[in-house]
Amino acid sequence: MSLLRRGRRARPDVPQDDDDQVELPQTVADAAARQVRSKTDPLADLRSWPVPPARGWATPGGGRDHHVGTGALYQGTSVQLAGLYPFVGGSGSKVRGVPIGHDIHTHEPIGLNPGDWLNEGLISNTGIWCQGQAGIGKSAFAKRLGIGLCAMGWTMFVPADVKGEYSPLVARLGGTVIKVGRGHDAINPLDPGPLGAVLARVPAGRQREALREQIRARQSALMEALLLLELGRVPSTTERNLVSRAVDLATDASPDGQPTIPEVRAVLDQAPQVLLDAARIGGRPQRYFDLMRDVLSALDLLVEGPLRGLFDRRSTARLDPESPATSLDISVLDEEADEVVAAAMLCSWAWGSGMIEARQAGASRNILWLQDEAWRALRTGPGLVERSDRMTRLNRHKGVASVYLTHSMDDLQALPTEADRAKAKGIASRCAIHVYGGLPAAELSSLAVTLSNREAELLASWQSAGTWVPGQRHPGRGLYLIKAGERAGLPVRMRLNQREMELYDTDTAFRARTA
Protein backbone atom coordinates (compact mmCIF):
# COMPACT_ATOMS: atom_id res chain seq x y z
CA MET A 1 0.00 0.00 0.00
CA SER A 2 2.85 2.37 0.75
CA LEU A 3 4.17 1.82 -2.74
CA LEU A 4 0.80 2.67 -4.22
CA ARG A 5 0.55 5.79 -2.14
CA ARG A 6 4.02 6.86 -3.17
CA GLY A 7 3.07 6.16 -6.78
CA ARG A 8 0.23 8.66 -6.54
CA ARG A 9 2.39 11.51 -5.25
CA ALA A 10 3.27 13.92 -8.00
CA ARG A 11 6.70 15.39 -8.54
CA PRO A 12 6.60 19.09 -7.99
CA ASP A 13 8.74 19.82 -11.06
CA VAL A 14 6.71 17.67 -13.48
CA PRO A 15 3.51 19.02 -15.03
CA GLN A 16 0.33 16.99 -14.31
CA ASP A 17 -1.73 17.83 -17.37
CA ASP A 18 -3.01 15.03 -19.61
CA ASP A 19 -0.35 15.48 -22.25
CA ASP A 20 2.57 15.37 -19.77
CA GLN A 21 4.10 18.38 -21.51
CA VAL A 22 7.01 20.11 -19.74
CA GLU A 23 6.61 23.86 -19.48
CA LEU A 24 9.34 25.80 -21.23
CA PRO A 25 10.54 29.21 -20.05
CA GLN A 26 8.33 31.99 -21.37
CA THR A 27 10.19 35.17 -20.26
CA VAL A 28 12.55 37.03 -22.57
CA ALA A 29 15.36 36.66 -20.06
CA ASP A 30 14.87 32.91 -19.85
CA ALA A 31 14.81 32.62 -23.63
CA ALA A 32 18.01 34.66 -23.95
CA ALA A 33 19.73 32.56 -21.33
CA ARG A 34 18.67 29.41 -23.12
CA GLN A 35 20.06 30.74 -26.41
CA VAL A 36 23.43 31.49 -24.77
CA ARG A 37 23.58 28.01 -23.29
CA SER A 38 22.75 26.48 -26.69
CA LYS A 39 25.73 28.20 -28.29
CA THR A 40 28.18 26.97 -25.68
CA ASP A 41 26.62 23.56 -25.14
CA PRO A 42 24.49 22.09 -27.99
CA LEU A 43 23.04 19.51 -25.56
CA ALA A 44 22.06 22.05 -22.93
CA ASP A 45 18.39 21.94 -23.91
CA LEU A 46 18.31 18.19 -23.47
CA ARG A 47 20.07 18.40 -20.12
CA SER A 48 17.51 20.92 -18.87
CA TRP A 49 14.72 18.40 -19.26
CA PRO A 50 13.76 16.34 -16.19
CA VAL A 51 15.45 12.96 -15.93
CA PRO A 52 13.23 10.09 -14.74
CA PRO A 53 14.46 8.23 -11.66
CA ALA A 54 15.30 4.54 -11.71
CA ARG A 55 11.72 3.59 -10.78
CA GLY A 56 10.15 5.89 -13.38
CA TRP A 57 7.86 8.88 -12.84
CA ALA A 58 5.56 8.56 -9.84
CA THR A 59 2.45 9.37 -11.88
CA PRO A 60 -0.66 7.39 -12.82
CA GLY A 61 0.50 4.78 -15.33
CA GLY A 62 4.15 5.45 -14.50
CA GLY A 63 6.68 3.31 -12.71
CA ARG A 64 8.82 0.38 -13.73
CA ASP A 65 8.37 -1.69 -16.88
CA HIS A 66 9.92 -5.08 -17.65
CA HIS A 67 10.70 -4.22 -21.26
CA VAL A 68 11.15 -1.33 -23.65
CA GLY A 69 8.50 -1.18 -26.34
CA THR A 70 9.65 -1.55 -29.93
CA GLY A 71 9.50 1.36 -32.28
CA ALA A 72 7.07 1.57 -35.17
CA LEU A 73 8.26 0.01 -38.46
CA TYR A 74 7.79 2.02 -41.64
CA GLN A 75 8.57 0.98 -45.19
CA GLY A 76 9.02 3.04 -48.31
CA THR A 77 11.19 3.60 -51.34
CA SER A 78 14.62 5.20 -51.14
CA VAL A 79 13.17 8.24 -52.93
CA GLN A 80 10.47 8.78 -50.30
CA LEU A 81 12.63 8.01 -47.26
CA ALA A 82 15.88 9.58 -48.42
CA GLY A 83 15.52 12.45 -45.93
CA LEU A 84 15.29 10.29 -42.82
CA TYR A 85 18.10 10.32 -40.31
CA PRO A 86 19.75 7.98 -39.34
CA PHE A 87 20.10 6.85 -42.89
CA VAL A 88 17.86 3.90 -43.67
CA GLY A 89 19.51 0.61 -44.76
CA GLY A 90 17.90 -2.41 -46.37
CA SER A 91 16.96 -5.36 -44.21
CA GLY A 92 18.54 -7.87 -46.59
CA SER A 93 17.23 -11.16 -47.91
CA LYS A 94 15.39 -13.76 -45.90
CA VAL A 95 17.19 -17.10 -45.81
CA ARG A 96 15.17 -19.39 -48.07
CA GLY A 97 16.72 -22.81 -48.52
CA VAL A 98 20.38 -23.79 -48.72
CA PRO A 99 22.71 -21.29 -46.97
CA ILE A 100 24.94 -20.01 -49.77
CA GLY A 101 26.83 -17.35 -47.85
CA HIS A 102 26.57 -13.82 -46.47
CA ASP A 103 25.68 -10.55 -48.15
CA ILE A 104 28.98 -8.74 -48.69
CA HIS A 105 27.37 -5.41 -47.68
CA THR A 106 24.96 -6.24 -44.84
CA HIS A 107 26.58 -9.54 -43.76
CA GLU A 108 23.16 -11.13 -43.54
CA PRO A 109 22.82 -14.81 -44.52
CA ILE A 110 21.50 -15.63 -47.99
CA GLY A 111 19.91 -18.94 -48.92
CA LEU A 112 18.71 -20.47 -52.18
CA ASN A 113 16.11 -23.14 -52.83
CA PRO A 114 14.55 -22.99 -56.31
CA GLY A 115 11.53 -24.97 -55.11
CA ASP A 116 10.80 -22.62 -52.21
CA TRP A 117 11.42 -19.54 -54.36
CA LEU A 118 8.93 -20.88 -56.89
CA ASN A 119 6.30 -21.60 -54.24
CA GLU A 120 6.71 -18.13 -52.74
CA GLY A 121 6.26 -16.43 -56.10
CA LEU A 122 9.80 -15.07 -56.31
CA ILE A 123 10.49 -16.85 -59.62
CA SER A 124 8.45 -18.34 -62.46
CA ASN A 125 10.59 -21.46 -63.09
CA THR A 126 13.40 -23.41 -61.43
CA GLY A 127 16.12 -22.95 -64.07
CA ILE A 128 19.49 -21.70 -62.76
CA TRP A 129 22.11 -20.17 -65.06
CA CYS A 130 25.60 -19.98 -63.48
CA GLN A 131 28.31 -18.10 -65.38
CA GLY A 132 31.77 -16.88 -64.49
CA GLN A 133 35.47 -17.11 -65.20
CA ALA A 134 37.32 -20.35 -64.65
CA GLY A 135 38.50 -20.69 -61.08
CA ILE A 136 35.93 -18.47 -59.38
CA GLY A 137 33.99 -21.41 -57.94
CA LYS A 138 31.05 -22.20 -60.24
CA SER A 139 31.20 -25.90 -59.48
CA ALA A 140 31.66 -25.12 -55.77
CA PHE A 141 28.41 -23.16 -55.88
CA ALA A 142 26.64 -26.06 -57.61
CA LYS A 143 28.05 -28.58 -55.13
CA ARG A 144 27.05 -26.48 -52.10
CA LEU A 145 23.55 -26.23 -53.54
CA GLY A 146 23.49 -29.96 -54.25
CA ILE A 147 24.58 -30.95 -50.75
CA GLY A 148 22.00 -28.69 -49.14
CA LEU A 149 19.13 -29.84 -51.34
CA CYS A 150 20.04 -33.51 -50.80
CA ALA A 151 19.81 -32.84 -47.06
CA MET A 152 16.32 -31.43 -47.69
CA GLY A 153 15.15 -34.58 -49.45
CA TRP A 154 16.11 -33.79 -53.04
CA THR A 155 18.29 -36.00 -55.21
CA MET A 156 21.21 -34.71 -57.28
CA PHE A 157 21.88 -36.06 -60.76
CA VAL A 158 24.98 -35.30 -62.86
CA PRO A 159 24.26 -36.82 -66.30
CA ALA A 160 27.70 -36.35 -67.89
CA ASP A 161 30.58 -35.53 -65.56
CA VAL A 162 33.30 -34.79 -68.12
CA LYS A 163 36.06 -34.13 -65.57
CA GLY A 164 34.92 -36.53 -62.86
CA GLU A 165 34.91 -33.69 -60.33
CA TYR A 166 31.48 -34.57 -58.91
CA SER A 167 32.25 -38.24 -58.25
CA PRO A 168 33.90 -37.74 -54.80
CA LEU A 169 30.96 -35.64 -53.64
CA VAL A 170 28.37 -38.14 -54.89
CA ALA A 171 30.26 -40.98 -53.21
CA ARG A 172 30.45 -39.01 -49.93
CA LEU A 173 26.68 -38.48 -50.08
CA GLY A 174 26.18 -42.24 -50.36
CA GLY A 175 25.13 -41.97 -53.98
CA THR A 176 25.88 -43.95 -57.13
CA VAL A 177 28.87 -43.24 -59.38
CA ILE A 178 28.80 -44.99 -62.76
CA LYS A 179 32.10 -44.68 -64.62
CA VAL A 180 31.47 -45.01 -68.34
CA GLY A 181 34.24 -45.80 -70.81
CA ARG A 182 36.39 -48.50 -72.31
CA GLY A 183 37.33 -50.92 -69.59
CA HIS A 184 34.58 -49.55 -67.36
CA ASP A 185 30.80 -49.71 -67.30
CA ALA A 186 28.77 -49.57 -70.49
CA ILE A 187 25.35 -48.02 -70.88
CA ASN A 188 22.91 -48.88 -73.62
CA PRO A 189 21.38 -45.55 -74.67
CA LEU A 190 18.26 -47.36 -75.94
CA ASP A 191 17.79 -49.06 -72.58
CA PRO A 192 14.60 -47.66 -70.97
CA GLY A 193 16.28 -48.16 -67.60
CA PRO A 194 14.10 -47.67 -64.50
CA LEU A 195 11.26 -46.51 -66.73
CA GLY A 196 11.13 -50.03 -68.13
CA ALA A 197 10.64 -51.42 -64.61
CA VAL A 198 7.79 -48.97 -64.08
CA LEU A 199 6.27 -50.03 -67.41
CA ALA A 200 6.33 -53.68 -66.32
CA ARG A 201 4.35 -52.85 -63.17
CA VAL A 202 1.67 -50.75 -64.88
CA PRO A 203 -1.36 -52.75 -66.03
CA ALA A 204 -2.55 -52.57 -69.62
CA GLY A 205 -4.37 -49.37 -70.37
CA ARG A 206 -3.91 -45.73 -71.23
CA GLN A 207 -1.11 -45.09 -68.72
CA ARG A 208 0.91 -48.04 -69.98
CA GLU A 209 0.61 -46.84 -73.57
CA ALA A 210 1.67 -43.35 -72.52
CA LEU A 211 4.81 -44.74 -70.85
CA ARG A 212 5.58 -46.85 -73.90
CA GLU A 213 5.30 -43.82 -76.19
CA GLN A 214 7.48 -41.82 -73.81
CA ILE A 215 10.23 -44.44 -74.05
CA ARG A 216 9.88 -44.59 -77.82
CA ALA A 217 10.10 -40.81 -78.18
CA ARG A 218 13.35 -40.63 -76.20
CA GLN A 219 14.87 -43.52 -78.15
CA SER A 220 14.02 -41.85 -81.46
CA ALA A 221 15.35 -38.48 -80.31
CA LEU A 222 18.65 -40.05 -79.26
CA MET A 223 19.08 -41.93 -82.54
CA GLU A 224 18.46 -38.71 -84.46
CA ALA A 225 21.05 -36.86 -82.37
CA LEU A 226 23.68 -39.58 -82.85
CA LEU A 227 23.03 -39.68 -86.59
CA LEU A 228 23.34 -35.91 -86.75
CA LEU A 229 26.78 -36.20 -85.16
CA GLU A 230 28.00 -38.69 -87.75
CA LEU A 231 26.20 -37.25 -90.79
CA GLY A 232 27.06 -33.63 -90.08
CA ARG A 233 23.50 -32.71 -91.05
CA VAL A 234 19.95 -33.16 -89.84
CA PRO A 235 18.52 -36.55 -90.95
CA SER A 236 15.81 -36.28 -93.57
CA THR A 237 12.18 -37.05 -92.83
CA THR A 238 12.39 -40.42 -94.59
CA GLU A 239 15.57 -41.37 -92.73
CA ARG A 240 14.06 -40.46 -89.38
CA ASN A 241 10.88 -42.38 -90.13
CA LEU A 242 12.70 -45.56 -91.13
CA VAL A 243 15.10 -45.43 -88.18
CA SER A 244 12.20 -44.99 -85.77
CA ARG A 245 10.40 -47.99 -87.26
CA ALA A 246 13.61 -50.02 -87.08
CA VAL A 247 13.85 -49.22 -83.36
CA ASP A 248 10.29 -50.53 -82.92
CA LEU A 249 11.11 -53.76 -84.75
CA ALA A 250 14.32 -54.26 -82.76
CA THR A 251 12.42 -53.65 -79.51
CA ASP A 252 9.80 -56.25 -80.40
CA ALA A 253 12.51 -58.77 -81.31
CA SER A 254 14.58 -58.19 -78.17
CA PRO A 255 13.86 -60.71 -75.38
CA ASP A 256 14.03 -58.04 -72.68
CA GLY A 257 12.64 -55.16 -74.73
CA GLN A 258 15.99 -53.35 -74.66
CA PRO A 259 17.41 -53.11 -78.19
CA THR A 260 20.98 -52.07 -78.86
CA ILE A 261 22.28 -49.86 -81.66
CA PRO A 262 23.85 -52.88 -83.50
CA GLU A 263 20.44 -54.59 -83.42
CA VAL A 264 18.77 -51.51 -84.93
CA ARG A 265 21.47 -51.44 -87.61
CA ALA A 266 20.85 -55.14 -88.35
CA VAL A 267 17.13 -54.49 -88.87
CA LEU A 268 17.90 -51.68 -91.32
CA ASP A 269 20.35 -53.95 -93.16
CA GLN A 270 17.73 -56.67 -93.54
CA ALA A 271 15.29 -54.28 -95.22
CA PRO A 272 12.10 -56.05 -94.07
CA GLN A 273 8.89 -55.46 -95.98
CA VAL A 274 7.59 -53.15 -93.26
CA LEU A 275 10.45 -50.74 -93.92
CA LEU A 276 10.10 -51.02 -97.70
CA ASP A 277 6.42 -50.12 -97.40
CA ALA A 278 7.22 -47.21 -95.08
CA ALA A 279 9.79 -45.89 -97.58
CA ARG A 280 7.11 -45.78 -100.32
CA ILE A 281 9.49 -46.93 -103.04
CA GLY A 282 7.28 -49.56 -104.65
CA GLY A 283 9.01 -52.47 -102.94
CA ARG A 284 12.36 -51.87 -104.69
CA PRO A 285 15.14 -52.86 -102.26
CA GLN A 286 17.86 -51.12 -104.26
CA ARG A 287 16.01 -47.84 -104.03
CA TYR A 288 15.70 -48.39 -100.27
CA PHE A 289 19.45 -48.88 -99.86
CA ASP A 290 20.13 -45.79 -101.96
CA LEU A 291 17.95 -43.78 -99.57
CA MET A 292 19.55 -45.24 -96.44
CA ARG A 293 23.18 -45.43 -97.57
CA ASP A 294 24.32 -42.47 -95.45
CA VAL A 295 22.40 -43.65 -92.39
CA LEU A 296 23.84 -47.16 -92.61
CA SER A 297 27.35 -45.74 -92.94
CA ALA A 298 26.77 -43.50 -89.92
CA LEU A 299 25.56 -46.46 -87.86
CA ASP A 300 28.65 -48.41 -88.96
CA LEU A 301 30.78 -45.63 -87.45
CA LEU A 302 28.80 -45.74 -84.21
CA VAL A 303 29.34 -49.48 -83.92
CA GLU A 304 32.80 -49.95 -85.44
CA GLY A 305 34.31 -46.46 -85.33
CA PRO A 306 35.74 -44.33 -82.48
CA LEU A 307 32.73 -45.13 -80.25
CA ARG A 308 33.22 -48.87 -80.48
CA GLY A 309 32.80 -50.56 -77.12
CA LEU A 310 31.06 -47.60 -75.50
CA PHE A 311 27.40 -47.61 -76.46
CA ASP A 312 27.02 -50.68 -78.66
CA ARG A 313 26.15 -53.28 -76.01
CA ARG A 314 23.77 -53.86 -73.16
CA SER A 315 24.09 -51.87 -69.96
CA THR A 316 26.44 -53.27 -67.35
CA ALA A 317 25.27 -50.84 -64.66
CA ARG A 318 21.88 -49.93 -63.31
CA LEU A 319 20.56 -46.65 -62.01
CA ASP A 320 19.12 -46.75 -58.52
CA PRO A 321 16.01 -44.53 -58.34
CA GLU A 322 16.33 -44.34 -54.55
CA SER A 323 19.94 -43.12 -54.56
CA PRO A 324 20.37 -39.65 -52.99
CA ALA A 325 22.78 -38.67 -55.78
CA THR A 326 23.92 -40.16 -59.09
CA SER A 327 26.79 -39.29 -61.41
CA LEU A 328 27.59 -40.67 -64.86
CA ASP A 329 31.36 -40.17 -64.92
CA ILE A 330 32.76 -39.97 -68.47
CA SER A 331 36.10 -38.44 -67.46
CA VAL A 332 38.05 -41.31 -69.10
CA LEU A 333 36.86 -39.90 -72.44
CA ASP A 334 38.02 -36.34 -71.73
CA GLU A 335 41.05 -36.68 -74.02
CA GLU A 336 38.99 -38.14 -76.87
CA ALA A 337 37.76 -36.15 -79.86
CA ASP A 338 34.83 -33.81 -79.32
CA GLU A 339 32.67 -36.16 -81.41
CA VAL A 340 33.26 -39.01 -78.95
CA VAL A 341 32.63 -36.81 -75.91
CA ALA A 342 29.51 -35.36 -77.52
CA ALA A 343 28.08 -38.81 -78.24
CA ALA A 344 28.83 -39.91 -74.68
CA MET A 345 27.13 -36.81 -73.27
CA LEU A 346 24.05 -37.29 -75.45
CA CYS A 347 23.71 -40.93 -74.43
CA SER A 348 24.21 -40.04 -70.77
CA TRP A 349 21.57 -37.31 -70.95
CA ALA A 350 19.08 -39.69 -72.55
CA TRP A 351 19.75 -42.41 -69.99
CA GLY A 352 19.54 -39.99 -67.08
CA SER A 353 16.35 -38.31 -68.25
CA GLY A 354 14.78 -41.76 -68.49
CA MET A 355 15.63 -42.30 -64.83
CA ILE A 356 14.00 -38.99 -63.95
CA GLU A 357 10.84 -39.92 -65.82
CA ALA A 358 10.75 -43.21 -63.92
CA ARG A 359 11.22 -41.46 -60.60
CA GLN A 360 8.44 -39.01 -61.36
CA ALA A 361 6.14 -41.86 -62.39
CA GLY A 362 6.62 -43.60 -59.06
CA ALA A 363 7.52 -40.86 -56.56
CA SER A 364 7.37 -37.13 -56.01
CA ARG A 365 10.99 -36.46 -55.05
CA ASN A 366 12.51 -33.25 -56.39
CA ILE A 367 15.63 -33.50 -58.54
CA LEU A 368 18.61 -31.19 -59.08
CA TRP A 369 19.95 -31.73 -62.62
CA LEU A 370 23.50 -30.40 -63.13
CA GLN A 371 24.76 -29.73 -66.66
CA ASP A 372 28.41 -28.69 -66.73
CA GLU A 373 30.21 -28.00 -70.02
CA ALA A 374 27.11 -28.94 -72.01
CA TRP A 375 28.20 -26.74 -74.91
CA ARG A 376 31.14 -29.06 -75.64
CA ALA A 377 28.63 -31.57 -76.98
CA LEU A 378 26.24 -29.14 -78.61
CA ARG A 379 28.85 -27.36 -80.74
CA THR A 380 29.83 -30.51 -82.66
CA GLY A 381 26.82 -30.56 -84.98
CA PRO A 382 23.98 -28.34 -86.21
CA GLY A 383 20.63 -28.97 -84.59
CA LEU A 384 21.99 -30.69 -81.48
CA VAL A 385 20.66 -27.95 -79.21
CA GLU A 386 17.09 -28.74 -80.16
CA ARG A 387 17.60 -32.51 -80.01
CA SER A 388 19.24 -32.37 -76.61
CA ASP A 389 16.47 -30.09 -75.37
CA ARG A 390 13.92 -32.67 -76.52
CA MET A 391 15.72 -35.41 -74.57
CA THR A 392 16.30 -33.40 -71.40
CA ARG A 393 13.27 -31.10 -71.34
CA LEU A 394 12.70 -30.93 -67.60
CA ASN A 395 9.91 -28.67 -66.45
CA ARG A 396 9.04 -27.31 -63.06
CA HIS A 397 5.83 -29.35 -62.94
CA LYS A 398 8.05 -32.46 -62.81
CA GLY A 399 9.87 -31.19 -59.74
CA VAL A 400 13.20 -30.74 -61.55
CA ALA A 401 15.58 -27.80 -61.14
CA SER A 402 18.18 -27.55 -63.93
CA VAL A 403 21.55 -25.88 -63.33
CA TYR A 404 23.59 -24.81 -66.38
CA LEU A 405 27.24 -23.92 -65.78
CA THR A 406 29.32 -22.08 -68.36
CA HIS A 407 32.34 -19.79 -68.54
CA SER A 408 31.13 -17.24 -71.03
CA MET A 409 28.38 -16.34 -73.45
CA ASP A 410 31.08 -16.90 -76.08
CA ASP A 411 30.48 -20.63 -75.50
CA LEU A 412 27.09 -20.09 -77.12
CA GLN A 413 28.66 -18.21 -80.03
CA ALA A 414 30.72 -21.33 -80.81
CA LEU A 415 27.56 -23.24 -81.78
CA PRO A 416 27.52 -24.10 -85.50
CA THR A 417 24.40 -22.25 -86.73
CA GLU A 418 22.55 -19.06 -85.93
CA ALA A 419 19.45 -21.10 -85.10
CA ASP A 420 21.42 -23.10 -82.52
CA ARG A 421 22.84 -19.93 -81.00
CA ALA A 422 19.38 -18.40 -80.73
CA LYS A 423 17.97 -21.53 -79.06
CA ALA A 424 20.87 -21.65 -76.60
CA LYS A 425 20.41 -17.98 -75.70
CA GLY A 426 16.74 -18.75 -75.20
CA ILE A 427 17.66 -21.41 -72.65
CA ALA A 428 19.81 -18.87 -70.80
CA SER A 429 17.20 -16.11 -70.82
CA ARG A 430 14.41 -18.44 -69.69
CA CYS A 431 16.24 -19.39 -66.50
CA ALA A 432 14.59 -17.50 -63.65
CA ILE A 433 17.71 -17.48 -61.44
CA HIS A 434 21.05 -16.16 -62.69
CA VAL A 435 24.26 -16.53 -60.70
CA TYR A 436 27.29 -14.58 -61.93
CA GLY A 437 30.88 -14.62 -60.80
CA GLY A 438 33.75 -12.43 -61.96
CA LEU A 439 33.42 -11.46 -65.64
CA PRO A 440 35.34 -9.16 -68.01
CA ALA A 441 33.76 -5.74 -68.44
CA ALA A 442 33.46 -6.30 -72.20
CA GLU A 443 31.19 -9.28 -71.64
CA LEU A 444 28.72 -7.70 -69.23
CA SER A 445 26.58 -6.19 -71.99
CA SER A 446 25.91 -9.62 -73.51
CA LEU A 447 24.47 -11.25 -70.39
CA ALA A 448 20.96 -12.66 -70.36
CA VAL A 449 19.84 -10.19 -67.66
CA THR A 450 20.15 -6.43 -67.24
CA LEU A 451 22.60 -5.23 -64.60
CA SER A 452 22.70 -1.89 -62.84
CA ASN A 453 25.88 0.17 -63.15
CA ARG A 454 26.89 -0.77 -59.62
CA GLU A 455 26.32 -4.49 -60.26
CA ALA A 456 28.36 -4.33 -63.46
CA GLU A 457 31.23 -2.61 -61.65
CA LEU A 458 31.08 -5.23 -58.92
CA LEU A 459 31.34 -8.17 -61.35
CA ALA A 460 34.18 -6.50 -63.25
CA SER A 461 36.10 -5.94 -60.00
CA TRP A 462 35.97 -9.68 -59.28
CA GLN A 463 37.52 -10.82 -62.55
CA SER A 464 41.26 -10.72 -61.85
CA ALA A 465 43.93 -9.61 -59.42
CA GLY A 466 45.62 -6.26 -59.94
CA THR A 467 49.07 -7.43 -58.91
CA TRP A 468 51.74 -9.88 -60.06
CA VAL A 469 52.57 -10.92 -56.50
CA PRO A 470 52.35 -14.75 -56.44
CA GLY A 471 50.24 -16.59 -53.93
CA GLN A 472 47.42 -14.05 -53.96
CA ARG A 473 43.85 -15.33 -53.81
CA HIS A 474 41.71 -14.69 -56.88
CA PRO A 475 39.60 -11.61 -56.00
CA GLY A 476 36.44 -13.26 -57.29
CA ARG A 477 36.85 -16.65 -55.63
CA GLY A 478 33.66 -17.47 -53.75
CA LEU A 479 31.86 -14.25 -54.74
CA TYR A 480 28.56 -14.41 -56.61
CA LEU A 481 25.79 -12.08 -57.67
CA ILE A 482 22.39 -13.79 -57.53
CA LYS A 483 19.76 -12.22 -59.78
CA ALA A 484 16.07 -13.08 -60.01
CA GLY A 485 13.92 -11.00 -62.33
CA GLU A 486 14.34 -7.23 -62.22
CA ARG A 487 15.16 -7.15 -58.52
CA ALA A 488 18.45 -5.85 -57.22
CA GLY A 489 21.04 -8.61 -57.16
CA LEU A 490 22.22 -10.29 -53.98
CA PRO A 491 26.05 -10.06 -53.72
CA VAL A 492 27.11 -13.03 -51.63
CA ARG A 493 30.40 -14.39 -50.34
CA MET A 494 30.56 -18.16 -49.86
CA ARG A 495 33.09 -19.60 -47.43
CA LEU A 496 33.93 -23.31 -47.47
CA ASN A 497 34.66 -25.48 -44.48
CA GLN A 498 37.59 -27.89 -44.51
CA ARG A 499 35.60 -30.88 -45.78
CA GLU A 500 34.08 -28.82 -48.56
CA MET A 501 37.52 -27.58 -49.60
CA GLU A 502 38.65 -31.19 -49.97
CA LEU A 503 35.55 -32.28 -51.90
CA TYR A 504 35.29 -29.22 -54.14
CA ASP A 505 38.98 -28.89 -55.05
CA THR A 506 39.41 -29.12 -58.84
CA ASP A 507 43.17 -28.35 -58.87
CA THR A 508 44.42 -31.55 -57.25
CA ALA A 509 45.79 -33.04 -60.46
CA PHE A 510 47.86 -29.94 -61.24
CA ARG A 511 49.25 -29.77 -57.71
CA ALA A 512 50.12 -33.47 -57.85
CA ARG A 513 52.19 -32.89 -60.99
CA THR A 514 54.04 -29.91 -59.50
CA ALA A 515 54.61 -31.38 -56.05
Tell me: the pLDDT tens digits for 60-112?
666 665 555 566 777 777 666 666 645 444 455 566 789 999 999 888 899 99
Q: Going from the N-terminus, what domains does the chain have, and what CATH number goes with each?
A: 2-48 (no CATH), 94-185+323-515 (3.40.50.300), 188-314 (no CATH)
Please, are residues 439 and 407 in contact by the beta-carbon 8 Å criterion? no
pLDDT at 433: 92
pLDDT at 220: 85
Please, are residues 226 and 239 in contact by the beta-carbon 8 Å criterion? no
Please, are residues 145 and 403 in contact by the beta-carbon 8 Å criterion? yes
The CA distance from 7 to 342, in Å, is: 86
pLDDT of residue 370 exceeding 80, the answer is yes
3-state secondary structure of 436: strand
Q: 371-391, pLDDT tens digit by residue? A: 887 777 677 667 777 766 665
CA-wise closest residue to 118 among 326, 437, 401: 401
3-state secondary structure of 292: helix
pLDDT bin (cut points 50, 70, 90) of residue 36 is low
Average pLDDT over residues 328-345: 83
What's the pTM value of the predicted model, to 2 decimals? 0.74
User: What is the rounded average pLDDT for all residues in the chain?
Assistant: 78
**From the CB of residue 136, how many other CB atoms can be counted at a distance below 10 Å?**
24
